[in-house]
Chain A
Amino acid sequence: MRIAIVGCGAVGSLFAANLSLLEDVEVWAYDLAQDHVDAINRDGLRLSGAGEVLGRPRATSDPAELPPCDFGIVLTKAMHTESAIAATAHAFADGSVCTVQNGVGNEEVLAAHVDRVIRGTTFPAGHIVAPGHVQWDVKGDTTIGPFEPKPAPTAEIERLADACTRAGMPTHAVPDARGAQWRKVIFNSATNPIGALTRLTHGQACELPQLRALISGLVDEGKAVAAAQEIVLDADPEELIDHAAKPEVAYGHKASMLQDVLAERQTEIDWLNGGIVRYGEQAGVPTPLNRAIWALVKGLEQSW
């Protein structure tokens, strides 16, 4: 089996390094960061923290080098999905492409370029320490299922889930992955921009009752949009928010969007709160708070 990781940043590296340890899987890592690619090819891809791994994927920044693959796992930031899949689609002419990126709407972008699409969501997190070296901050499950308008065959989805699980990245193949995906989208939309706008860590934000009430207001709108699409959330996003606020979990975690804002990089807001607003409009569900937060973070991006 040949798998290409498209976008080998922190989370992409977790998949690439772990999958490359399997004897029956050949892993390619496609990424535009040349120093990361060179380090992986020279020294291997090292994970530390939640697991100590030295993987040996083949890395490239040249999409022409990618051979035909059985699977792609797309893990670019959402704003780079279009350019990444446009460049690599040739490698998946006979394969299936899975997104476990943040936000909603990535599946649609993939489906414009490839025929068999898998939607999904993933919870492990990490950050790049140096080229070729990723800190694995927290383990977590991945849930994947067919993208209904252009689905990958169920047997293929199960084959990918099996490989990931055997590699130490527990992955569940389900008939409808929207419940897991929307739980994470709602979680991210209710918490990431709050950190970005106030500069508070997740735990600090949850300790302020007024701000925690705003977070719940955002969650409630997201739940209403999910319900209007007949999506059954696999768990309550509020539980995840409270769990993550615990000192031993992610109290001091600065949301990736806050890190983006501090570095003055474009954020994923269009695919998070922006996604909830767009799907809300289609479903006739008002989302005034998510829309306000979307506009504020776009304003923040425009201030740079």
Chain B
Amino acid sequence: MISRVCVVGAGVIGSLFAGHLARVAEVSVLTRRQEHAASLNADGLRISGRSDFTARLVASPDPASLPEPDLVIVACKGTDLESVAARLEGHFPGAVVMTVQNGLGAEEIVRRFGAWPLVSGVTFMSGTRHGDAHVEYILDTETWVGPYGDTPEAVPVEIAELIRASGLKAEAFPDLRPAQWSKLIFNATVNAVAALTGLPHDPHFAAEEQLSDLGFLVHDLIEEGKRVAAAAGIPLREDPWEMNVLATRRGSAHYPSMLEDVEAHRPTEIELITGALVREAERHGVEAPLHTAMYRLVTAKEASYS
């Protein structure tokens, strides 16, 4: 029975989990900054948009001062995962730890810092941060969870039930990899193209009329990603091209986080996303020249910041 949850990292995704889960469980938040924790402790966490309430929770930058949780949700950005996981080392021995980072490999990074049972997660939710203690819930899309390693299947099932009870959408799978890889290929394609062109995820990504239209490149990147998945023996849960076309028809164009990162001159999640896909291609002996090109361009763009 999960009665206490600790959310690690209170960005948009972490805050959406923490705020909603506080309605059905005792929630604590591990923050990076003391001021952030102080603000959450004093004012609670306001969720607006698709939900509208203020959650009461306890927050601290020190894991030792937080109550012992049953479930830890690590919701920081992939670029911060290693340093965040290091802060958990030696804490919360009785907890299950769930990752929700983009790309592949988050579970292995967390595993290096503790023997917790792990749960893999993929989330499509999105929101906008309006301050330390206020997040707007924008896209009420699903979170998918599944067991990692030896974790029994019942664990992600219970987590998905808890997330659903809190008012968010969630589904548990006996094997998350088909869903994880669908999102991996989608993100490797859309995020890198957005970061390089400056375009939000808009109808240009599905245009296939002129020879130079972006939709052809997007399609080719997705097909290349699907060949890597096939070589890795992973059947995809959803077709990433259909995910792409659907998303571009949603009306308001989404700004992928990688585009926001390059515009703000922040490190991107390219290693966990495109880097992971390219390494999988090498491991399984398939060519991925287009994703390799995108990886080289985005990492070079990061090098131009300094």
Residues of A within 8 A of B (CB): 194, 197-200, 204-205, 208, 210-211, 213-214, 217, 269-270, 274, 277-278, 281, 288-289, 291-296, 298-300, 302-303
For B298, the closest partner residue in chain A by CB is A198
Q: Which among B53-61, B169-177, B208-216 touches the partner chain?
A: B208-216
Within 8 A of A (CB), among B255-306: 289-290, 292-297, 299-301, 303-304
By the criterion CB–CB under 8 Å, are A296 and B296 in contact? no
Please tell me which one of the listed residues A197, A198, A288 contacts residue B220 in the complex, with CB atoms under 8 A apart. Answer: A288
Tell me the bound Cα distance from A302 to B193 in angstroms.
13
**A146 vs B214: C-alpha distance when bound (angstroms):** 36
Judge whether B220 and A210 touch: CB under 8 Å: no
Cα A298 to Cα B205 with chains together (Å):
12
Residues of A within 8 A of B196 (CB): 197, 296, 299-300
Asked whether A302 lies within 8 Å of B199 as measured between CB atoms, the reply is: yes
**A213 near B289: Cβ-Cβ < 8 Å:** no
**Alpha-carbon distance A292/B301, docked complex (angstroms):** 16
Interface residues of B (CB under 8 A from A): 193, 196-199, 204, 211-214, 216-217, 220, 289-290, 292-297, 299-301, 303-304
Residue among A198, A200, A281, A292 making CB contact with B290, cutoff 8 Å: A292
What A residues does B304 contact at CB under 8 A? 198-200, 204
User: Which of A269, A277, A291, A303 contacts B197 (CB under 8 A)?
Assistant: A303
Least CB distance, B54 to chain A, in whole angstroms: 38
Evaluate contact between B300 and A298: CB separation under 8 angstroms.
Answer: no
B101 to chain A, nearest CB (A): 23
Task: Tell me, rounded to whole Å, the shortest Cβ–Cβ distance linking A225 to chain B.
Answer: 15
**B300 A211 Cβ-Cβ under 8 A:** yes
| Residue in A194, A199, A292, A299 whose beta carbon sits within 8 Å of that of B199 in the complex | A299
Instruction: Say yes or no: B199 contacts A278, CB within 8 Å.
Output: no
Q: Which residues in A have their C-beta under 8 angstroms from that of B303?
A: 198, 200, 204, 208
Among candidates A199, A208, A277, residue contacting B211 with C-beta atoms closer than 8 Å: A277
A303 nearest in chain B by CB position:
B198
Report yes or no: B300 in contact with A296, Cβ–Cβ below 8 A: no
A-B residue pairs in contact (CB < 8 Å), sample of 7: A197-B196, A199-B304, A214-B297, A269-B212, A289-B289, A292-B220, A299-B197
- Verify B197–A198 contact, CB threshold 8 A: no
- Are B300 and A198 touching (Cβ within 8 A)? yes
| Cα–Cα distance between A298 and B80 once the two chains are bound (Å) | 33
Partner of B213 from the list A199, A211, A289, A295 (CB cut-off 8 Å) is A295
Q: Determine if B217 and A295 form an interchain contact, defined as CB atoms under 8 angstroms apart.
A: yes
